[in-house]
Amino acid sequence: MTDPPFTISQADGSLHRQGQQDQTRHQQKVKEVVKQRLHDLITDESLILSDGTKPIKVPIHSLEQYRFRFNLHKRKHASLGGDDSKAGDAAGEDLYEIEVEFEELEDALFEDWALPNWHRRDHQQLETEQTRYTDVRKVGMMANLDRKRTLLENFKRNATRGSPGFGGFTPDDLRYKTWEPTVKRESSAVIIAMMDTSGSMGVFEKYCARSFFFWMSRFLLQKYKHVENVFIAHHAEAKVVTEDVFFSKGESGGTICSSAYELALELIDSRYDPAKFNLYPFHFSDGDNLSSDNDRCLQAISELVDRCNVFGYGEVNPFNRTSTLMSAYRNVSDPGFLTSIIREKGDVLKALRTFFGPVSKRKEV
């Protein structure tokens, strides 16, 4: 019997996709490392001082294929990769610095964030969008040519001349779709950022507060189109400042926090009607306030919570001391008042998630 003219075989197609699989696994590993190190990355000084255009460097373990490894001196059996639990003379893993685009870090950080208690307001920002075709005309751009209606016009014209069918197109046969702008309505929001710049705010306290407001500003730029930022710096007195001054103002003077709250109320009454704007005041301090001023703070907070969507208070307290402000604020039970304490740099991420994270993950500290 002669051999058959063909043979049947099966090839492992996954071998040809190994490069793509390795690349996909590498990208997934990078995303996992970025998410795991968010609490460290977002307080990196080089990021806070950057303009958000340069990539960042993240150390990552080298990625290797699984392989059987036999250690004659320590094991009797082979294993699939992994590290020994005991000290030995084996070489360590290589660490590489990879570049991650700033936008990738933002996507990982802001993935499920939103401004809390967002409501539709009477005041609307209007934005036109060219999305709906409403008419057909004899003139227009070729990109908007309506092929179906053009064929129909050609067929009708030929039929009236006694020659049913298509062919012999003329400019009179052409029909173009036209559009009219549709209106998209979006509510406006106002963020009132308040920061204590008194003499008790040290380097660490200022750095953590500015880190929070830096990422808050990046989050708003990425997620919302119609958000206005108002910056208030205060010590014993409060005043509205520019963003540049807000992030660079030095510390001096005593502390009267109610001055910032009362200025925020004045701005709301004069410029930002709560019926027309979503209002979000956020205040950061080290918690040292003139004791006799606490009652005025509580009264102002009560008024702000009534007029605003949410009021957020963040306290930078690295020494775990009892602060005059937090002692008073612990008695505020309104769900529209959120607080968070920062004891170390990694807690900046916790504060951001407290104020902007999913409702199910928010915790009042």
Chain position carrying tokens 């505020």: 332
pLDDT digits (tens, 9 = 90+) for 258-287: 999 999 999 999 999 998 899 999 999 999
What pLDDT is stored for residue 128 in this prediction?
Answer: 43
Q: How far apart are CA 310 and CA 280, in angstroms?
A: 6
Residues 9-25 as b/e (b if ≥16 CB within 10 A, e otherwise) read eeeeeeeeeeeeeeeee
Both tokens assigned to 68: 């059987």
Q: Can you tell me whether residue 293 is helix, strand or coil? A: helix
Distances (CA, A) of 88 to 69, 71, 84, 85, 93: 15, 11, 8, 9, 13
- Per-residue tens of pLDDT for the chain, all 365 residues: 566 565 565 555 555 555 566 666 656 766 676 677 777 777 777 666 666 666 666 666 555 544 555 555 555 544 444 444 555 555 555 556 667 777 888 888 888 899 998 876 654 444 445 456 667 777 777 878 888 888 888 878 777 776 666 667 788 888 888 766 655 445 589 999 999 999 889 999 999 999 999 999 999 988 888 899 999 999 999 999 999 899 887 777 789 999 999 999 999 999 999 988 999 999 999 999 999 999 999 999 999 999 999 999 999 999 888 899 999 999 899 999 999 999 999 999 999 999 999 864 554 44
Residues 52-76 as b/e (b if ≥16 CB within 10 A, e otherwise) read eeeebebebeeeeeeeeeeeeeeee
- Which are the contacts of 168, defined by CB distance < 8 A and separation ≥ 6? 154, 158
Q: How far apart are CA 339 and CA 349, in angstroms?
A: 14
How many CB atoms sit inside 10 A of residue 181's CB?
A: 11
Q: 187-361 in CATH: which number?
A: 3.40.50.410
CATH 3.40.50.410 domain range(s) in the chain: 187-361
CA-based nearest residue to 136, from 127, 125, 128, 146 = 146
pLDDT digits (tens, 9 = 90+) for 208-246: 999 999 999 999 988 888 899 999 999 999 999 999 899
